[in-house]
Chain A
């Protein structure tokens, strides 16, 4: 019997009260408040090191947490706090939403989820610049989804470029098909969770290149190699047939919205005083907004404002109920 892995069904027929996309300080703080308000809460996040805080190494100025503490640890504390109030966390990637349907629909890799309200907390680690060759060779060896495209590179040499949990998980996925993977990590160390980092580092068909930057993707009609710049020394060309790119930048991540909400010139979402977008029941928080400085404590506060807005929206209250507890 083959395993067909029939998936993508709406495996949660009952709608959540609120789904929060993004589990950084804004999303996790919102979850603490919505879950504590007895709202059925689901947080969907790509992974612990997907966002700006998750990648921060030492934090000593988060009020109430003396530190120094890593961003991933601080995020984990917030998540545990939210979980203790009943919030559910799902490690998955949201690929699309339908904001106008009722209930609203969130499509993720493992299935579709319905929700009455939505908080967008996906941050601003989206890429701004692409490297030469990337656009022309998209679908011709350049890919952003190893699980989608890995099977086209059977017994070939490929590169994965990035340093998130997602990049490392996709690296391991590719090892099932390919001859070898060159993992090109722009930073001097791996930032993924320790178990995952160890699994990748110790894998016999993965070569990890720390502190190496992707300069160009080479090929005419299909990828023939990637030009990279090591930390020390001259540029080199790695002869790969596939380039799986998971780099990050500083642009608000809104691609999964499919244009359902307008963005301003800086790519940010606009919201009202309650952090609600133009679509009722859809809130946006944290670094998706251009309105304030990028500090974890401020985005956490955003999450709380939106959470109380969600409660008002769902329960039809005019004013927020202050929870002094």
Chain B
């Protein structure tokens, strides 16, 4: 039996018919010593079975390897979600830890977004995001049981899609306790911007952009 229920497979198959261009999930894993590595890979592979537009590339994680360097991956399990095709585009959309529970919907939304080639952000926000001219690294800490978290993660991914200066990670707080400790995560969603600035909760786009502006000032 797979990880996906039959009902969800059918639903997703139908949703994925709308995928306009191919996407690739580059999954960084390691069969041993990694909690949820196997499940993250299997989940990605099961999604790929549902649409010809979804490909999976499974990479054995080597922190010093070319792939880890290319995708800037420093922990596993990790998924880099990229636009595939003759000219692949890496928007800097990452999932660290398994996107399970409520966060599964964020992975699906991310796939739909990248395949559509449109972040879906309102025009006014797009204009503001386009103006970001310095590197922004967003780490959105989540737990799989948090219904507010997908909004925060997806927004960060939308910003990453709009501007190559923005990189956005989902980080499953329980799987990476050392990061939760480092960034003082005791509640989720918590968005850490460029290491030192942070936001609590699923904040609206304008508020997140204000915080980014603060971090870049």
CA distance A149 to B11 in the complex (A): 30
Give a binary string over B6-34; 1 marks a CB under 8 Å from any A CB, 0 the rest.
01100110110000000000000000000
CA distance A149 to B174 in the complex (A): 10
| Complex interface: chain B residues within 8 A of A131 (CB) | none
| B74: interface (CB < 8 Å) | no
Specify which of B108, B186, B202 is in contact with A139 (CB 8 Å cutoff): B186
| A264: interface (CB < 8 Å) | no
Once A93-B147, A148-B143, A152-B185 are accepted as A-B contacts, the answer to whether A259 and B204 lie under 8 Å apart by CB is yes
CA distance A147 to B12 in the complex (A): 26
CA distance A39 to B106 in the complex (A): 31
CA distance A136 to B57 in the complex (A): 44
- Closest CB-CB distance, B146 to chain A, in whole Å? 4
Give the nearest-CB partner of B205 in chain A: A258
- Closest CB-CB distance, A222 to chain B, in whole Å? 7
Specify which of B8, B149, B189, B204 is in contact with A6 (CB 8 Å cutoff): B8
Are B186 and A152 touching (Cβ within 8 A)? yes
| A9: interface (CB < 8 Å) | yes
| B84: interface (CB < 8 Å) | no
| B197: interface (CB < 8 Å) | no
- Closest CB-CB distance, A227 to chain B, in whole Å? 20
| Complex interface: chain B residues within 8 A of A148 (CB) | 143, 145-149, 187-189
Give a binary string over B191-217; 1 marks a CB under 8 Å from any A CB, 0 the rest.
000000010111010000000000000
The count of residues in chain B whose C-beta lies closer than 8 Å to any C-beta of chain A is 46
CA distance A149 to B4 in the complex (A): 26
- Closest CB-CB distance, B43 to chain A, in whole Å? 7
Specify which of B39, B190, B202 is in contact with A95 (CB 8 Å cutoff): B202
Are A8 and B5 touching (Cβ within 8 A)? no
Are A8 and B105 touching (Cβ within 8 A)? yes
Are A95 and B147 touching (Cβ within 8 A)? yes
| Complex interface: chain B residues within 8 A of A13 (CB) | 11, 14-15
Are B173 and A8 touching (Cβ within 8 A)? no
Specify which of B8, B104, B150, B186 is in contact with A141 (CB 8 Å cutoff): B186
Give a binary string over A6-32; 1 marks a CB under 8 Å from any B CB, 0 the rest.
111111010000000000000000000
Are A7 and B101 touching (Cβ within 8 A)? yes
| Complex interface: chain B residues within 8 A of A138 (CB) | 187, 200
| Complex interface: chain A residues within 8 A of B151 (CB) | 95-96, 107
CA distance A183 to B118 in the complex (A): 46
Specify which of A9, A149, A259 is in contact with B12 (CB 8 Å cutoff): A9
Once A5-B144, A109-B147, A145-B148 are accepted as A-B contacts, the answer to whether A152 and B101 lie under 8 Å apart by CB is no
Once A147-B145, A149-B143 are accepted as A-B contacts, the answer to whether A4 and B202 lie under 8 Å apart by CB is no
27 of the cross-chain contacts (CB-CB < 8 Å) are: A2-B36, A4-B39, A6-B4, A6-B43, A7-B104, A8-B147, A8-B150, A9-B8, A9-B104, A11-B11, A13-B14, A93-B147, A95-B147, A95-B151, A95-B202, A109-B102, A109-B147, A139-B185, A139-B200, A143-B186, A145-B187, A148-B143, A148-B149, A150-B145, A152-B185, A152-B186, A222-B186
